[in-house]
Amino acid sequence: MKEKIIERVLLLCSLITIFTTIGIIGVLIFETINFFREVSVIDFFTDTEWTPLFSQKRFGISPLLAGTFLTTIIAMFVAVPLGLTISVYLSEYAPRKLRSAIKPSLEILAAVPTVVYGYFALVFVTPLLQQVLPADSLSGFNALSAGIVMGIMILPLVSSLSEDALYAVPKSLREGSLALGSTRFQTAVKVVVPAAFSGISVAILLAVSRAIGETMIVAIAAGQQPRLTLNPLVPIETMTTFIVQVSQGDVQHDSVEYRTIFAVGITLFVLTFILNNISFYLKRKYQEVYE
C-alpha cells in the first residue's frame, strides 16, 4: 500500500513538471507568434541593431546573441581547463581523505547566490583588471570580468561531473596501462580521460547551457549596451539581461516592446534545448559500458 502511494506521488510530481514545461513553452510560442505578426522574422535574425526601447526601433537579435556567446566563451575558457585539471587531480592523484574534503568545498561555490558573483565581478574583478590592463582600455561594465566570474561560478559543475565520470572508469584500465609501462600522467590523459569522454562532454555542455542562461552576473557586471562585437573590454548586453531590463515594469504590457522578451526567451530556450540534446546524443554515442 505504501509503495503504491509513493508511486502515485512520484507520478503526480512528474506530471506537474511536464505540464508546467508545456505551459511555459505554450506561453512563449503564443506571445512570440504575436510578436512576429508585427516584426519580420528575417529582420529579427539578420538585422544588426537592437533598439526596441528607443524611438527608432530595430529588432535584430544579433547583438544580444553576440553578447551572450562572448561571455559564455570567456566563462568556458576559465571553467573547462580548471575544471578538468581539478577533476583529474581528484580522481587520479588526490588521497581519499583529501578528495572527500576538496570536492564538497568546491561545490559550495554552486550555493553562492549569483547576485553575489555579480557584485564581486563589478567591485573587485573589474577594478583589478583595470590595474593590470592598459589605462582606460577596460570599461567599468564589460564582458571580460562577467565572463571570468561566470566561469568561476560554473567551475563546480564542470569539475564535479567530470570527476564523477573519471572516477567511474574501472581500475582495471588504469592497472593495465600502468602494467604496460605508462606513467601515471600518461594513464590519466591517454586512458582515463578518453574512457570518460561521454561524461566529460556532458558536463561541459551542461556548463555551457548554464552560462548561456545566467542572468544576474551579466546584468550587474556586463552592462546594458547591445552591440555586435567580440571585444570583451566594452559593455555588452546578453539575452537574459535584456529580459531583466524589460521585466522591470517600464514597458507597457501587450506592446511590441514587451513581447520582445518572449521572442528573446524562446530563442534562449531553443539554444539550451539544442545543447541539452547534443549532450544526450554524445552520452549515448560515446558512453563506454564495462562489465
Tell me the residue length of the chain: 291
- Quick check: is 19 in a domain? no
The answer to whether 197 touches 286, Cβ cutoff 8 Å, is yes
For residue 172, the one-letter residue type is S
- Mean pLDDT, the chain, integer: 87
Number of C-alpha atoms within 13 angstroms, CB side, residue 142? 23
Write down the pLDDT at residue 143: 92
Residue 105's pLDDT band (cuts 50, 70, 90): confident
Asked if residue 286 has pLDDT above 70, the reply is no
* CATH assignment at residue 119: 1.10.3720.10
Closest CA to 69 of 209, 244, 201, 266: 209
Name the domain count of the chain. 1
30 located within any domain: no
* In contact, 58 and 52? CB cutoff 8 Å: yes
Report the C-alpha gap between 100 and 97 in whole angstroms.
5
pLDDT in tens, 152-192: 999 988 988 888 888 888 888 888 888 888 888 888 888 88
- Residue 19's contacts (CB-CB under 8 Å, 6 or more residues apart) are none
pLDDT at 290: 56
Nearest CA-CA partner of 154 in 220, 228, 212, 240? 212
Which is more confident, 290 or 228? 228
Confidence of residue 52 (pLDDT cuts 50, 70, 90): confident
Q: Which three cell numbers stand for residue 266?
A: 524562446
| Confidence label for 288 from pLDDT (cuts 50, 70 and 90) | low
Q: Which of 57, 75, 117, 64 is nearest to 236 (CA)?
A: 64
pLDDT of the residue at 287: 65
Backbone angles phi, psi at 50, to 5 degrees: -130, 95
246 vs 261: CA distance, rounded Å: 7
d(C-alpha 113, C-alpha 118), whole Å: 9
Q: What is the pLDDT of residue 266?
A: 92
Q: What is the 3-state secondary structure (H, E, C) of the chain?
A: CHHHHHHHHHHHHHHHHHHHHHHHHHHHHHHHHHHHCCCCHHHHHHCCCECCCCCCCCECCHHHHHHHHHHHHHHHHHHHHHHHHHHHHHHHCCCHHHHHHHHHHHHHHHHCCHHHHHHHHHHHHHHHHHHHCCCCCCCCCCHHHHHHHHHHHHHHHHHHHHHHHHHCCCHHHHHHHHHCCCCHHHHHHHHHHHHCHHHHHHHHHHHHHHHHCCCHHHHHHCCCCCCCCCCCCCCCCCHHHHHHHHCCCCCCCCCHHHHHHHHHHHHHHHHHHHHHHHHHHHHHHHCCCCC
Tens-digit pLDDT profile for residues 224-280: 888 888 889 999 999 999 988 888 767 777 788 888 999 999 999 999 888 888 888
**Owning domain of residue 262:** 38-286
In a domain, 25, yes or no: no
The pLDDT, as a whole number, for residue 112 is 85
| Within-domain flag for 3 | no
pTM: 0.89
21 inside domain: no
- Please answer whether residues 145 and 220 qualify as being in contact, where contact means their C-beta atoms are separated by less than 8 angstroms: no
Would 212 be classed as within a structural domain?
yes
Amino acid identity, position 233: L
pLDDT of 289: 58
